[in-house]
Amino acid sequence: MTRKDFPPDFIWGTATASYQIEGADSEAGKGPSIWTAFSHAPGKIYQGHTGDLACDHYHRYKEDVSLLASLGANAYRFSISWPRLFPEGRGARNQKGFDFYARLIDVLIANGIQPFITLYHWDLPLELQKSIGGWESRDITAYFGDYAEAVFSSYGDRVKNWITLNEPFCSSHLSYLFGEHAPGKSDLKESFAVAHNLLRSHGEAVRRFRSTIKDGTVGLSNVSQWVEPASDSPEDGEAAKLLNQFFNDWFYVTPLKGEYPVDFSQRLDKIGAMPEIQPEDMELIMEPVDFWGVNYYSRIIAKADPKSEFGYNTVPGDLERTAMGWEIYPKGLQLFLERAYREYGEKPLYITENGMAEDDELEEGSVHDKKRTIYLRDHFDAASKAMNNSVDLKGYFVWSLMDNFEWAHGYSKRFGLIYTDYENNQRRIPKDSYYWFRDFLRR
């Protein structure tokens, strides 16, 4: 398999997110985010790590763009930090923040790299959390819309591809149900209310996009798991359907059809956890997207369990795992892309994240991350098979350009093509997988 197995205009890039790489968290007028507060709260993050400095990308963005250019990437997906532009989420603008992204965009374009910008990758301005409860409040939608519009008006002349939200599943359920992410709450009903407000805000951003930008595309990036039943039994089949609705369909089918997936909704209804849907909410949520962003890492297996709240549980599979403990299943990428294309409206797809954490070690200036290289090769192959089966896949972003702040895991998990040497002033050291990807792109 070589680059020639993909169309000539195929997008090849890497992805990152603001809080995970930028650092300069309280510099140049930036306001704190919910992750600033969460990472500084005792006991929330591995060994008390924070994103205060992260990869120091804020100061080293030119070096990072040079590394992208040497890789041969023709695109780069990054997110904008809302509190860097609006320190309190609304009201006063921070011009230095706007200037930073303008410089980043310009240097990318000068190097022939198209920016793909995500508006929200989890770093909500802390002030909005404190004053209105962040995503818990319906009022967030208008504020997110205003922020989105300010971004579109500032950069829309140069940036053509946009993503509203990254993985609303995580910013609702990981943050409000499982409590692992900021703001760290555990309340089922609230997590679905938050998911509803995230989807409404996504719709609002799409609406603002259509009224501000004349040429360009906008989509939504979802964490996407290939769901399998534990056996051929009808009960496990039903379990897989429910898990699919909870994990995947909730954030793909709802914006497509304006209706929450029926079976899972019925379960939620029974326990009084369905979000309140007001007239016109669904019309807003359904604002049509131009593409779906698929963030694929692994599969999950569902087994019927009449005693559990939703009628199923997940059970471990027996495939090799990454350092995150996620099973390595390239075939799942092909199957997911095929299902997504078929069931989510035959829209163009991008893989907006794919990659793996490995226990990388620096040995005499090199990192021999063989597993990651094989992982990427096999997932590229799976993507190309999906395309051969008629899936309209337009691009592939490897997660991540460099090792970075992996949320609750701090810096203990390394996903990068480039090793970040946290002990030595965040020195960048391209790993073997970086050179493999570079050669793949050159060939």
Of positions 17, 55, 119, 239, contacts ligand IFM by CB under 6 A: 17
Is 204 an interacting residue with respect to ligand IFM (CB under 6 A)? no
Residue with smaller CB distance to ligand IFM, 20 or 114? 20
Decide if residue 353 touches ligand IFM (CB under 6 A): yes
Distance of CA 196 to the CA centre of its chain: 18
Based on the residue annotation, tell me whether 88 is a catalytic residue of this protein: no
Min separation Cβ 17 and ligand IFM, Å: 5
Is the CB of 241 or the CB of 299 nearer to ligand IFM?
299
Contacts of residue 372, defined as CB under 8 A and 6 or more positions apart, other chains included, come to 355, 356, 358, 417, 431, 433
Min dist. Cβ of residue 415 to ligand IFM (A): 6
* Nearest CB to ligand IFM, comparing residues 312 and 411: 411
Q: Is 225 one of the binding residues for ligand IFM (CB under 6 A)? A: no
The reply on whether position 171 binds ligand IFM by CB under 6 A is no
Contact status: 127 vs ligand IFM (CB under 6 A): no
Does 399 engage in binding with ligand IFM (CB under 6 A)? yes
Comparison of 20 and 197: residue with beta carbon closer to ligand IFM: 20
Residue 396 contacts ligand IFM per CB under 6 A: no
Question: Quick one: which of 22, 123, 149, 167 contacts ligand IFM (CB under 6 A)?
Answer: 167
Q: How many residues bind ligand IFM (CB under 6 A)?
A: 8
Q: Answer yes or no whether residue 172 interacts with ligand IFM by CB under 6 A.
A: no
Interface with ligand IFM, residue 298, by CB under 6 A: no
Q: Whole-number minimum distance, CB 7 to ligand IFM, in Å?
A: 26
127 labelled catalytic: no
Q: Does 224 bind ligand IFM (CB under 6 A)?
A: no
CB of 1 to ligand IFM, least distance (A): 24
Q: Can you tell me which residue has the tokens 């890497």?
A: 14
Residue 265 beta carbon to ligand IFM: minimum distance, rounded to whole angstroms: 26
Q: Does 123 bind ligand IFM (CB under 6 A)?
A: no
Site residues for ligand IFM, 403-422, by CB under 6 A, read 406, 415
Among 22, 287, 353, 358, the one annotated catalytic: 353
What does the alpha-carbon distance between residue 53 and residue 19 come to, in Å, rounded to a whole number? 9
Asked whether position 294 contacts ligand IFM by CB under 6 A, the answer is no
> What distance in Å separates the CA atoms of residue 24 and residue 21, rounded to the nearest whole number?
10
- β-bridge partners, 125: 33
Judged by CB under 6 A, the chain residues 48 through 87 that form the site for ligand IFM are none
To ligand IFM, the closest distance from the beta carbon of 357 in angstroms equals: 7
Say whether residue 18 binds ligand IFM (CB under 6 A): no
Catalytic, out of 22, 127, 136, 167: 167
Residues annotated catalytic, as ranges: 167, 353
Binding residues (CB under 6 A) for ligand IFM: these are 17, 20, 167, 295, 353, 399, 406, 415
